[in-house]
Amino acid sequence: MSVTKTQTKPEVISKKQEIEAPCTPEQESVIRAEPRKEHRWLHKLVGEWTYEGEATMEPGKPPMKFHGTESVRSLGGLWTLAEGRGELPDGGPATTIMTLGYDPQRRRFVGTFIGSMMTHLWVYDGVLNAAEKVLTLHTEGPDMAVEGKIAKYKDVIEFKSDDHRVLTSHILGDDGKWHGFMTAHYRRKK
């Protein structure tokens, strides 16, 4: 006696069906995220800016000055992408990219920072103060004074007005206190 097997063809799903497939509520919130007030706050950064600042590179030495430009754009109303071009405090060229967004599940601001002068990817986790003027972004990275050591840092973005913001960078010292080492004033191009 012979048994005949019926073979079925695998179901082929068209691209249109794949795109139109229903999503779970969790997937829908990730796939079709709508900007919230925190995302809209970040869009105060969007535009063309110039900056000038100073950084203390070594204790006991005078701060070094730097300047440049920054172009900030929106990505889907949910993210801001900031590309900076300028000079390092020692005079060399620098390009930086900062991404900022808001994670509603974590209720935290998130982002990254990279620069042409470094190999570390800085990952931000932050909060906006109650007055909605100061965004504090915490991160970790290589200690700039001790090779091989990881340090805690914070970058603080404070809006003085719609056309003027200040970025300060701090490192957490062995004494448990935050020590500022860089301040930059950003002014919107007119």
Q: 45-75 pLDDT, tens per residue?
A: 999 999 999 998 777 888 988 999 999 999 9
pLDDT higher than threshold 50 for residue 44: yes
pTM for the structure as a whole: 0.82
* Residue 29 pLDDT grade (very low, low, confident, very high; cuts 50, 70, 90): low
CATH code at 54?
A: 2.40.128.20
- Domain-embedded: residue 111: yes
pLDDT at 188: 98
Residue 6, in any domain of the structure: no
Q: pLDDT at position 20, please?
A: 46
Tokens of 40: 């809209």
Closest CA to 52 of 40, 69, 37: 69
Q: Which residues lie below 8 Å from residue 179, measured CB to CB, with a gap of 6+? A: 170, 171, 172, 173
Give the β-pairing of 108-115 and 47-55.
unpaired
Does residue 144 carry a pLDDT above 90?
no
Q: How confident is the model at residue 132 (pLDDT cuts 50, 70, 90)?
A: very high
Q: Residue 11: pLDDT above 50? A: no
Q: C-alpha distances in angstroms, 75 versus 52, 57, 117, 134, 156? A: 26, 34, 25, 22, 22
Q: Would 82 be classed as within a structural domain? A: yes
Domain range for 63? 35-188
CA distances in angstroms from 59 to 56, 64, 100, 139, listed in the order given: 7, 12, 31, 22
Position 58 scores a pLDDT of 79
pLDDT band at 89 (very low <50, low <70, confident <90, very high): low
pLDDT band of residue 30 (cuts 50, 70, 90) is low
pLDDT at 31: 73
Does residue 142 fall inside a structural domain?
yes
Q: Which residues face 71 on adjacent strands?
A: 48, 83
Q: Is residue 63 part of a domain?
A: yes
- The count of structural domains within the chain is 1
Contact 113, 70 (CB under 8 A): no
Pairwise CA distance, residues 44 & 132, whole Å: 11
In this predicted structure, the answer to whether residue 21 has a pLDDT above a threshold of 80 is: no
pLDDT for position 157? 98
Confidence of residue 8 (pLDDT cuts 50, 70, 90): very low
CB 82 within 8 A of CB 95: no
- Residue 22 domain-assigned? no
Residue 7 lies in a domain: no
Q: Which residue has the higher pLDDT, 60 or 90?
A: 60
Question: Which H or E element spans position 69?
Answer: strand 64-75
Mean of pLDDT values over 136-152: 94
- Can you tell me the mean pLDDT for 93-122? 96
CA atoms of 124 and 119, how far apart (whole Å): 16
Residue 43 lies in a domain: yes
**Residue 60 and residue 184: Cα distance in Å, rounded?**
20
H/E run at residue 82: strand 79-87
